[in-house]
Amino acid sequence: MRVELREITKRFGSFTANDSISLTVEPGQIHCLLGENGAGKSTLMNVVFGLLHPDHGEILLDGEPVRFANSGEAVRRGIGMVHQHFMLVPVFSVAENVVLGFEPTKSLNRLDHDKARREIRELSERYGLDVDPDAVVETLPVGIQQRVEILKALSHDARLLILDEPTAVLTPQEIDALMGIMRSLAAAGTSILFITHKLKEVRAVADVITVIRQGRVIDSVSPETSEPDLAALMVGRSVSLTVAKDAVEVGGSSLELRDVVVRDDRGLVAVDHVSLSVREGEIVALAGVQGNGQTELAEAIAGMRHVESGQIVLGGRDITNRSPREILDEGLGHVPEDRHRDGLVLSMSISDNLVLNTPRRAPFARRGTRQLSAVADNARDLVQRFDIRTTGIDASASSLSGGNQQKVIVARELSRPLVAFMASQPTRGLDVGSIEYVHRQIVAERNAGRGVLIISSELDEVLALGDRIAVMYAGRITGVVDSSTSREDIGLLMAGAGREH
């Protein structure tokens, strides 16, 4: 299907998410939409898929203008979408999820499960995507769930397939498999719109790359374009994609985990006898696909989750099951994974957020009374030192961009004496410029002789920062390797194929 977008504009209040965007996808073409978080890619795709209505512009399918009242209509016109956050009902079976909205029925509106099952099997065979139609989605691994999502998108003879950041939750091997699927679909004539911010993937699979920045089309380029050039187009200035790291003398133990066992919210063992040592002056990067226990482990280290057994030692002192307050006071700097939930009080001012972990302590409080001038001085100082872009220190944290919110947290954590520094997904959702900045801060902390633990599901980040790389799978460390290890080998460890720890 030939898909043409003509001058699509979409505004949210005074914010223009898509500013007169035009692009064309030829039949059988893999068209990449490259842009940073917040550039307007997802908005554009939601417009194409009928979830949002454009304020201006039109969509033409094979030359015919269309207007969708809802996404059901888009699906009927041959558009399928694989969403970044899967649109699957966890408690439904694969078959129920795939047919939802287009259910085959018998008399009395009864669901025709046999027919649904047959449809899934046919689809599976046609596209070589194997799934059990009766499996309950929540019991499937993420990679298989995505396969279900793709099947669902293809199930109504989709001739345009939209993939919105499909690789975020996959291991390198699964990413390769996905790209194979994309190529064979395109070869069979399906047009593909592939949205991502990862340069490697774009170059590997795209026929055409359209770069979007701040809601506008910047350029359309060929996949031969080099990574630095693509990054420059995406960000609007040249950026360095690697972090400069000098060799640093490694000292004694800074943060040590001994046989740590932690349960998740459902009471299942999420961290299964994990031992790991972070020494002074070294960055240990904990890699792994999201949901393999990293979140629970970080929470346990920070005192936010009960440690069932084992020991956590910070600078020689046992901090197992101490309160978060005590652990922070012992000298752990912590950038939490979910900055909105655990890192900031969004409705409070930047200056208050900057003393969130030391509000009762001199100079910010004396005799139980807050010293507001000291708080303000501290805020002015940190805003300047950490280059936080804000209208003022009294602005609420919610008024900041994601990158600047993260800088507030990093500034707060790094502005006090630390023994070790731990950051979970430190650059999630940040623009390339902020990523660069945060990475430099992390390396500086290591250079100053602190032990640093980075927990990240972005393999690029892990490889860029880690002096040593530990890989976590199903609650266990499947291997600790050095930073020269290949992506493929780390990918195997991420899929659990490593040696037992």
Partner 1 sequence: MSVALEASRVTTPHDRRTTTIGAIMIGLGLFIAVVFGLVVPSWAHSQLTFDPINTAVHAPWHLGALTVETRWTDTLLGLVAVALGVEVVLRHPRRAMSRFGATSILFLLALLLWASRTSGPATVNFVDLTAVLVGSSSLAMVLIYGSLSGVLCERAGVVNIAIEGQFIAGAFLGSMIESVTNNFWLATLAGALAGAFFGWILAFLALRYMSDQIIVGVVIVTLLAALSSYLNLQVLTPYPQFNLGNLAPNLAIPLLYKIPVLGPVLFNQTGFFYFAIVLIAVISFGLFRTRWGLRVRAVGEHPKAAESVGINVVATRYRNVIMGGAVAGIGGVSFMATQGQFQPGYTSGFGYIALAALIFGRWTPSGAVVASVLFGISSYLAGNLQGYSVPIPTEILGMFPYLITIAVVAGLIGRVRPPAADGVPYQRS
Contacts with partner 1, residue ranges (CB under 8 A): 46, 49-52, 70-73, 75, 81, 83, 85-92, 96-97, 100-103, 105, 108-111, 135-136, 138-139, 266-269
CB of 40 within 8 A of CB of 9?
Answer: no
**Smallest gap from residue 40 Cβ to partner 1 (A):** 14
Which residues, 6+ apart, have CB-to-CB distance to 280 below 8 Å?
A: 250, 251, 252, 253, 254, 449, 450, 451
**Smallest gap from residue 469 Cβ to partner 1 (A):** 26
**Smallest gap from residue 429 Cβ to partner 1 (A):** 17
**Smallest gap from residue 114 Cβ to partner 1 (A):** 13
- DSSP-derived letter for residue 422 is E
Q: Is 69 exposed, middle or buried (0-12, 13-18, 19+ CB in 10 A)?
A: exposed
> Can you tell me the distance from the alpha carbon of 212 to that of 55, in angstroms, rounded to the nearest whole number?
19
Q: Are strands 468-473 and 64-66 parallel, antiparallel or unpaired?
A: unpaired
From the list 112, 116, 108, the residue with the least C-alpha distance to 132 is 116
Smaller CB distance to partner 1: residue 103 or 219? 103
Smaller CB distance to partner 1: residue 42 or 405? 42
Starting at the edge strand that comes first in sequence, how are the strands of the sheet with 3-12 ordered? Answer: 15-25, 3-12, 56-61, 64-66
Quickly tell me which residue has 């004396």 as its tokens.
366
Q: Is 247 exposed, middle or buried (0-12, 13-18, 19+ CB in 10 A)?
A: exposed
**Smallest gap from residue 105 Cβ to partner 1 (A):** 5
Smaller CB distance to partner 1: residue 105 or 242? 105
192 φ, ψ (degrees, to nearest 5): -130, 130
For residue 370 the two structure tokens come to 């807050």
**Smallest gap from residue 408 Cβ to partner 1 (A):** 27
Smaller CB distance to partner 1: residue 89 or 188? 89
CB of 134 within 8 A of CB of 93?
Answer: yes
**Smallest gap from residue 92 Cβ to partner 1 (A):** 7
Helices (H), 211-355: 227-235, 294-301, 324-329, 350-353
**Smallest gap from residue 481 Cβ to partner 1 (A):** 26
